[in-house]
Amino acid sequence: MAKQFFTSESVTEGHPDKVADLISDSILDALISKDPASRVAVETLVSTGLVAVAGEVSANCYVDIPRIVRKTVHDIGYTRAKYGFDGDTCAIITTLDEQSGDIAMGVNSSLEQKCEDSTGNEVEATGAGDQGMMFGYASNETAELMPMPILLASKMAARLAHVRKGKLIDYLYPDGKTQVTVQYEGGQPVRIDTVVVAAQHKPTVAHKNIEQDIMGAVIKEVVPPGMLDKKTRILVNPTGRFVLGGPQADAGLTGRKIISDTYGGMARHGGGAFSGKDPTKVDRSAAYAARYVAKNIVAAGLADKCEIQLAYAIGVANPVSIYVDTFGTGKVADRELVNLIREHFDLRPGAIIKKLHLRRPIYQRTACYGHFGRPDPDFYWERTDKAEILRQSV
């Protein structure tokens, strides 16, 4: 069989882009916890000694944004100036406005409601918060029904943070990146070809010690037995040094890691970021719904791989299109799967919010290490409760 190699990357919570994502989602959680109907679109910029928060918020509550920012930065681990960033001393700029009335008009009352739906279907009051397309994906190559490259890269990034915070490796600083290249044969992963880990560290630690510790405490703890072999390349801090990191080394922005947030490039992406957005924004809620649909189709055994595209128009509740691609692995035709989706999944924004319980302060937990493929019980989009129904329908 022909060999194929696919690579995905992830980053730790101390990476500047993830610092920004975490701050945005922490603000979102604080608002939703007080007012579940909050409309939030918060963007964050971090740079040397600076956090800038901007965006639109409409909520019947008050939250102390500077306090949330400082706590989030502290929780990440930026507590001392020697790390290149310090939650106590960084400057914080906040500029927030109300949600546009033009947008609110479409979200508050959908086109279907305004037209007094005459089809006999329940009229959904909530319209989509924007136009756009969102993708969801699932594959049976792992137990989590995720592509193996991004799953392992995300787990290694999370492990880097765990060994740092638990002082299993006591010289690590918060910033870090991981990358995994998987060899495929016949569409299935057979071995790990290359692992790359970049871990920020104290300046006094020898490179050889870092390599040994990362190999033992991170890589071997995450990669499944038998997937590493003598030909696997392990590259730890390939430049030989990674001391300067975090917002001091590189500015960070909300929504700049959308590929590592999702499927590591294995599936397509509609372009919309997740962090800082409340669930009326279909960039987030419909992407979660698309993952939910794709995962249930694969869990039902109707395909080995499945990619779903949903598309919306602002102010309209029902998706304007549903597209399915099973890459030739479907047990039934893709067009039949579209019919099953329409029958068993309500993909109007209000229905998605209700089904997936999205008006809860769960978003900070999604901001790092992937929004998908994680066993958090609050991530309802990871459930496969529709699999048996789909199987019986076929």
Residues identified as active-site: 15, 17-18, 43, 56, 177, 242, 250-251, 256-257, 277, 281, 283
Residue 9, φ and ψ in degrees, nearest 5? -125, 160
Residues 246, 129 contacting (CB under 8 angstroms): no
Q: How many angstroms separate the CA atoms of 283 and 130, rounded?
A: 8
Gap between the Cα atoms of 361 and 34, Å rounded: 9
Give the length of the chain: 394
Closest CA to 71 of 33, 22, 38, 28: 22
At residue 320, the 3 state secondary structure works out as: coil
Say how far apart CA 149 and CA 162 lie, in whole Å. 20
Rounded to whole angstroms, what are the CA distances from 68 to 88, 93, 157? 12, 13, 24
Q: Residue 103 belongs to what H/E stretch?
A: helix 101-108
Tokens 């915070």 locate to 165
In whole angstroms, give the CA distance from residue 246 to residue 95: 23
- C-alpha dihedral sign at 385, 389, 392, 394: negative
Residues 6 or more apart whose Cβ sits within 8 Å of residue 259: 8, 9, 265, 269
Long-range contacts of 322-331 (CB under 8 A, 24+ apart): 322/347, 324/297, 326/297, 326/302, 329/187, 329/303, 329/304, 329/305, 330/302, 330/303, 330/306, 331/301, 331/302, 331/303, 331/394
Beta-bridge partners for 198: 177
DSSP SS3 for 38: coil
Per-residue CA distances from 46 to 124, 229, 248, 254, 256 (Å): 39, 40, 9, 9, 12
Element counts in the chain: helices (H) and strands (E) = 13, 13
